[in-house]
Amino acid sequence: MATPVTISINMPRADMAFIKQLSKRMGWTMSETKPTDNLYDPESGSYLNDETMQAIRDVEAGKVMRCKDMNELLALI
């Protein structure tokens, strides 16, 4: 068996159907990855770190904890 190789290709989304069909015929496996989030913070002049980006994704997905006060929040830890 040949050693698998992982490649990355940037192409128009319109070509995905053809590439998926080709990979199926050739017996290849495909996976599509999302581009990394790099939000710029103009106040600090830098990009947001991984922890901040994860917090933003959690809020977007509805994964938030609601506490009435700081004591309730600290009790969860």
- pLDDT of 38 strictly over 90: no
Pairing status of strand 40-41 against strand 46-47 = antiparallel
pTM for the model stands at 0.40
Mapped to the 3 state alphabet, what secondary structure does 24-50 carry?
A: HHHCCCCCCCCCCCCCEECCCCEECCH
Q: What average pLDDT does the segment 1-9 reach? A: 80
**pLDDT, greater one: 44 or 18:** 18
pLDDT above 90 (res 21): yes
